[in-house]
A and B are shown apart, each in its own frame.
Chain A
Amino acid sequence: MDIFLQQLINGLVSGSIYAIVALGYTLVYGILRLINFAHGEIVMLGAMIALSVIGLLTDSGLPGLLIVSLGLLCAIPCCMLIGYLIERIAYRPLRHAPSLTPLITAIGVSIVLQNLAMMIWGKEFISFPPLIDVQYFSISEATINSVQIFIVIVSTLMMTGLNYLVNKTKLGNAMRATAQNAEVAGLMGVNANTIISLTFVIGSALAAVAGMMVTMNYNVAHYDMGFMLGLKAFTAAVLGGIGNLRGAMFGGILLGIIESMGAGYLGTLTNGMFGSNYQDVFAFFTLIGVLIFKPSGLLGKAGGERP
């Protein structure tokens, strides 16, 4: 057993975050067939905005938990607005362009946001102030702390909520209809632009929470933290089958666990040749493996992309 349980817990925590970010990719892809590479940057902006608010309030004497909540409550609407504006300004004019054009634009938006963040918050790591009294609990040989428990619970709630929204509500029905055939959905009275904006806004709200969770988990934020995280979450979305919500959730958690197991056992397995710093390689190898045997992803429908 030794480190197995501990790695499983760590994997579940980082996997929950990947899943939340992956949902943002998959939601947008489902409707627009666009990989929104700027999504990782929204996670970063969520973390940065939250930390700025928290920084301003640190000496206010308010209770720590309240300050953290206020940070998050400011980050969510800011990210929603940013997500909305990105779609409105960068992607909407390219709605009928060949699919490569919006993809390159997405990479451009990502670079712009990253540099903007660097100009605003600098190149230094920003640390999460010790506002919360973190509790540690032991489960046999492993430990889990209150922040990790919080992350898993909040992620589960958000995933359940989103699943309900998309699969059980009228709005969700309209979102799925638009994803399948925007023209016909329009004839039913659905304004596709509204649905697309909403998709970006919902994905960005999730990203803001994910940004906060990453910062709480690792205690730091950095202007380029969105890049690797975004790439991992995208991997998770593809692993589960992009465009499929349950796929993104499953892929995220699976990727987190695989990565964490890789980090834990890679050294022992290779007799010290590869250390835990190879965990990213491990994650991407898994992706390549899955794509060879099931190109549509683990929960994706065979047959690939609709025309």
Chain B
Amino acid sequence: MKLLDVHNLKVHYGGVNAVKGIDFHLNAGEIVALVGANGAGKSSTLRAICKLAPHSGKLFFDGKDLAAVKSHDLVRLGIALVPEGRGIFSDSSVEENLLMGAYIHNDAKIKTDLEKIYTLFPRLKERNQQAAGTLSGGEQQMLALGRALMSRPKLLLLDEPSMGLAPLIVKAIFDVLKQIAADGMTIFLVEQNAGLALELSMRGYVMESGNIVLTDSAPALLQNPQIRAAYLGQ
């Protein structure tokens, strides 16, 4: 079953066409990577799905047309974004950030969810009363991921989760993503680091200057000589 279905998506900022009419989809339970160089239109694609960028084309989530859905209603449908640059609330405490993730919920399960996040990221528990802005970059990325999970999403969108982080931290974050995926979460992973993203994913799309130029299973893409040359430096 297609969880997210995208038809002829175009994103245009003024005269600039950042995304030039792409089609792709995510099946429920899949991990799909969208890889490509800086400026290929990956983030614009995510922003359009989140209703944060001017766009045209058709977006369906769980069979529902997203045309009339506002950005602040997406989370109620089950879409959560871990934004590029993390977008944490730096003056609020770590715990307040996580509770913001559960803003749409009003039940006792919030507490168990919070404990789950603290088990996934013990460092967040140690610092739960600290202002989020005092965390290191890696901890902030964990917080952004934890906050997205607090909304109990059906689809998790990740925008460059590895950006600017030390390899060890990146590994820790991707290990958690693996765990979440094993629990059946559908994940759409936008990454410049193609090798990293494709190793985690089942399928991948390759984007170049606003178009999807290639799509295949992740293992096949990792073996593709063109991809190896262009994105994996091999």
Interface residues of A (CB under 8 A from B): 170, 173-174, 176-177, 180-181, 183-192
A174 CA to B75 CA in the complex, in Å? Answer: 15
* Contact of A187 with B50 at beta-carbon distance under 8 Å, contacts A177-B100, A181-B87 already known: yes
6 pairs of residues in contact across A and B, judged by CB atoms under 8 Å = A183-B52, A183-B71, A185-B100, A187-B50, A188-B75, A189-B76
Contact A188 B52 (CB under 8 A): no
Question: In the complex, which range does the number of interface residues on chain B fall in?
Answer: 20 to 34
**Residue B41 lies at the interface, judged by CB distance under 8 Å to chain A:** no
**Residue B101 lies at the interface, judged by CB distance under 8 Å to chain A:** yes
A181 CA to B80 CA in the complex, in Å? Answer: 16
A186 CA to B79 CA in the complex, in Å? Answer: 12
Neighbouring A residues of B91 by C-beta, 8 Å = 176, 180
Contact B90 A190 (CB under 8 A): no
Neighbouring A residues of B80 by C-beta, 8 Å = 187
**Residue B103 lies at the interface, judged by CB distance under 8 Å to chain A:** yes
Contact A174 B87 (CB under 8 A): no
A183 CA to B71 CA in the complex, in Å? Answer: 9
Neighbouring A residues of B52 by C-beta, 8 Å = 183
A26 CB, min distance to chain B CBs, angstroms? 14
Q: How many A-B residue pairs have CB under 8 A?
A: 63
A183 touches which one: B74, B87, B99 (CB < 8 A)?
B87
Contact A170 B103 (CB under 8 A): yes
Interface residues of B (CB under 8 A from A): 50, 52, 70-76, 80-81, 83, 87-92, 96, 99-101, 103-104, 147, 151
A184 CA to B71 CA in the complex, in Å? Answer: 10
Beyond A186-B72, A190-B103: 20 further Cβ-contacts under 8 Å? Answer: A173-B96, A173-B100, A177-B89, A177-B100, A180-B91, A181-B89, A183-B52, A183-B71, A184-B83, A184-B88, A187-B74, A187-B81, A188-B101, A188-B104, A188-B147, A189-B75, A189-B151, A190-B72, A191-B70, A191-B72
B219 CB, min distance to chain A CBs, angstroms? 32
Neighbouring B residues of A188 by C-beta, 8 Å = 75, 100-101, 103-104, 147, 151
Contact B87 A184 (CB under 8 A): yes
Neighbouring A residues of B70 by C-beta, 8 Å = 191
Contact A177 B92 (CB under 8 A): yes
Contact A187 B90 (CB under 8 A): no
A183 CA to B100 CA in the complex, in Å? Answer: 13
A179 CB, min distance to chain B CBs, angstroms? 8
A176 CA to B52 CA in the complex, in Å? Answer: 21
Contact B89 A189 (CB under 8 A): no
A191 CA to B87 CA in the complex, in Å? Answer: 17
Nearest to B76 among chain A residues (CB) is A189
Nearest to B91 among chain A residues (CB) is A180
Neighbouring B residues of A180 by C-beta, 8 Å = 89-92
A97 CA to B70 CA in the complex, in Å? Answer: 21
A184 CA to B47 CA in the complex, in Å? Answer: 11
A192 CA to B73 CA in the complex, in Å? Answer: 12
Contact B73 A189 (CB under 8 A): yes
Nearest to A185 among chain B residues (CB) is B100
A189 CA to B87 CA in the complex, in Å? Answer: 15
A184 touches which one: B73, B76, B89, B99 (CB < 8 A)?
B89
* Contact of A192 with B92 at beta-carbon distance under 8 Å, contacts A174-B100, A187-B80 already known: no
Neighbouring A residues of B71 by C-beta, 8 Å = 183, 186-187
B141 CB, min distance to chain A CBs, angstroms? 14
B89 touches which one: A176, A186, A192 (CB < 8 A)?
A176
Contact A187 B92 (CB under 8 A): no
B104 touches which one: A176, A177, A184, A189 (CB < 8 A)?
A189
Contact A192 B72 (CB under 8 A): yes
Nearest to B72 among chain A residues (CB) is A186
Neighbouring B residues of A184 by C-beta, 8 Å = 83, 87-89
